[in-house]
Amino acid sequence: MTDPVVRLDVPRLSVEPGGQARTTVTVRNTGTIVEGFRITVVGNTVDGWAQVLPDKEVQVYPGQEASATIVFSAPAGIGSNSGSYPFGVHAESVVDASSSAVAEGDLEVGRVFGLQSKLTPVTSQGRWRGKHRIDLTNWGNAPVRLRLVASDPDERLAFLITPEILEVPLGSSGQARLKVKTRDPFLRGTPVRLPFQVVGEPDPPEQRTGPQLGLADPKRAAVDGAFTQQPILSRFVVVAATLLVVALAGLTALSLFKDDDKRPTFEEAGTPPAPTVTAEAVGSQQIALSWEQIPQIQAFQVFQVSEDGAQTLNDQEVSGEVNSFTVDQLTPETQYCFQVLAKRGDFSSPRSAPVCAMTGAEEAGTGSATPPASTDTQAPTTTPPTGGSGTVDFLPTDYVAILFTIPAEQPDARAQAEAKAQELSTETRPALVLDTTEYPDMGLIEGQPFNPSFLVYVGPFASLSEADTYCGSPQPSGSTGCLPAQPSPNG
């Protein structure tokens, strides 16, 4: 017996899920007798999709050919994964099973996209930021890889998506976290709804061909959401804070009045401890000294000394209500050392350990260096840590952290602000009061100028990042928020 010859008219077929593809198989009898050949389709998966028409067996005369039709019916939906499937058409003699032949082909199954997207919650709200969850489900017949991108039409929001690239297996779901943050916080006003959209684009991107008909692209996933931005200070918070400030001011005054008679005398308090002093250069001709506040101190004596502290060069007395002092008219790039003692009645503390600092280099265009330092200097530039109005000469690069706001139109607004500053002061950070009418161009970062008001703040800080870092730390109890602002004279 000789083997038949088997060939396919179309060896490479393509079919969409739920559709059909067909080809013709031809069997040639190379023997000398009439043969019957049984035709079957072999191949992983696709053999179950194939049907031989009109029958699975053909009769062929010697030297002649006979044909049959092979029909492939791919299941719909995710029942048929996309990709290329090899197959073979096997013709076997019904007389002699050893006489057979196979023709090979390939069946290409098309890709079906079915993406379902969901955003939870659809709308978030807050003073600064909101959080959402993105859920994507793949109902297609192939895995997808999407790059998630968020945008808002007014560019008033910033977004963070984790992860940015999301891979969703066939018939499975994936999740991503979305954080939304406002670029323009505001103190007072009406809540504002800011819409945005999150789109999942194929990764890597695909080139679109043909006319765009305005229909939804099944390869992309898109969800719409919104962030409702709340004012930092609501009307209820302002009213409640005002009442609280008035009540605390009354209680503080009553407490101070009652405690006046309970304070120990200077003799009972005894000798004060030596101050703990730090020194820091401020520019090329100034050094700022600071120390912890000590109760019941009448005055502090500031000494300029030699590096070993053995020789006193000059001294200056400052008020006992301050905890800092700035020495100016110094020589650039020169090291200076200082000591401080505290005075309480007839008692004086030991001198502090010597602290030293070197002045900075002279700025270009300022001329020659000034004469050596003299402690007959300007008044202190900061206020005591118990809080208050104080006087601070802000540099154009200074920033402050605002903890509380009282409109100037309220009765006794300054007194309320000073009482609140005293309440919010800590041992390391005194809270101060700033009148916005003295800085008419002062405003929030990327915001609008303040209305006339008294601000309870902490600072100054040398940069916006330092003010942001402070606002990111736990705030004193009683503050209504923490917001960086720039109070430089030039706005």
Judgement on whether residues 102 and 134 belong to the same structural domain of the protein: no
Residues 287 and 323 grouped into a single domain: yes
Asked if the structure places residue 409 within a domain, the reply is: yes
Task: Examine the domain organization and report whether 403 and 470 are in the same domain.
Answer: yes
* Stretch (H or E) spanning 222: strand 221-229
210: left (phi over 0), alpha (psi -120 to 50) or beta: left
Q: Which amino acid is residue 202, in one-letter code? A: P
Residue 192: predicted pLDDT? 92
Any domain includes 374:
no
Q: Is residue 137 located within the same domain as residue 199? A: yes
Last residue of a domain, one of 64, 81, 109: 109
- In the sheet with 83-93, reading across from the earlier edge strand, the strands are 12-15, 100-109, 83-93, 35-42, 57-60
Is residue 75 a part of any domain in this protein? yes
Of 56, 77, 109, which closes a domain?
A: 109
In a domain, 322, yes or no: yes
Helix axes 235-259, 413-424, angle to 10 degrees: 80
Amino acid 411: pLDDT: 81
Indicate if 40 and 176 belong to the same structural domain.
Answer: no
Say whether both 120 and 224 belong to one domain.
Answer: yes
CA dist 190 and 481 (Å) reads 18
Q: What are the backbone dihedrals phi and psi of residue 436, each rounded to the nearest 5 degrees, phi first?
A: -70, -20
**Considering the domain boundaries, does residue 364 fall inside one?**
no
Cβ atoms of residues 419 and 252 within 8 Å = yes
Q: What is the pLDDT of residue 263?
A: 64
Structure tokens at 204: 């890597």
Whether 363 is in a domain gets the answer no
pLDDT of residue 383: 37
Give the DSSP per-residue string, 355-371: EEEE--PPPTTS-SPPP
Same domain membership, residue 147 and residue 68: no
Q: What is the pLDDT along the chain (491 residues), one digit of tens a residue?
A: 688 888 999 889 888 877 888 899 898 988 888 888 889 999 887 878 888 887 778 888 888 898 889 898 888 766 667 778 899 988 888 888 888 889 899 988 877 767 888 899 999 999 999 999 999 888 777 788 889 999 999 999 999 999 989 888 877 888 999 999 999 998 888 899 999 999 988 888 766 655 554 445 667 788 899 999 999 887 777 778 888 888 888 887 777 666 555 567 766 778 889 999 999 998 888 999 999 888 888 899 999 998 888 888 888 899 888 889 999 888 998 999 999 999 988 888 999 999 999 998 886 654 444 444 443 433 333 333 344 555 566 777 788 888 888 888 888 888 888 888 888 887 777 888 888 887 777 765 545 567 788 888 888 888 888 888 888 777 777 777 788 888 765 44
From residue 390, how far is each of 80, 395, 445, 485 by CA, in Å?
Answer: 78, 16, 24, 18
Q: What is the DSSP letter of 449?
A: B
Convert the pLDDT of each residue in 72-100 to its tens digit.
888 876 666 777 889 998 888 888 888 88
Residues 430 and 488 in one domain: yes
Domain end, chosen from 109, 138, 167, is at 109
Strand ordering across the sheet containing 129-138:
115-120, 129-138, 173-182, 157-162
Tell whether 18 and 120 lie within a shared domain: no
The domain tally of the chain equals 4
Q: Which residues of 162-180 are buried (b: 16+ CB within 10 A; e: fewer)?
A: eeeebebeeeeebebebeb
481 and 423 co-located in one domain:
yes
Residues 284 and 336 in one domain: yes
**Residue 365 within any structural domain of the chain:** no
369 lies in a domain?
no
DSSP 254: H
Structural domain boundaries enclosing 323? 265-358
The CATH number that applies at residue 331 is 2.60.40.10
Same domain, 331 and 194: no
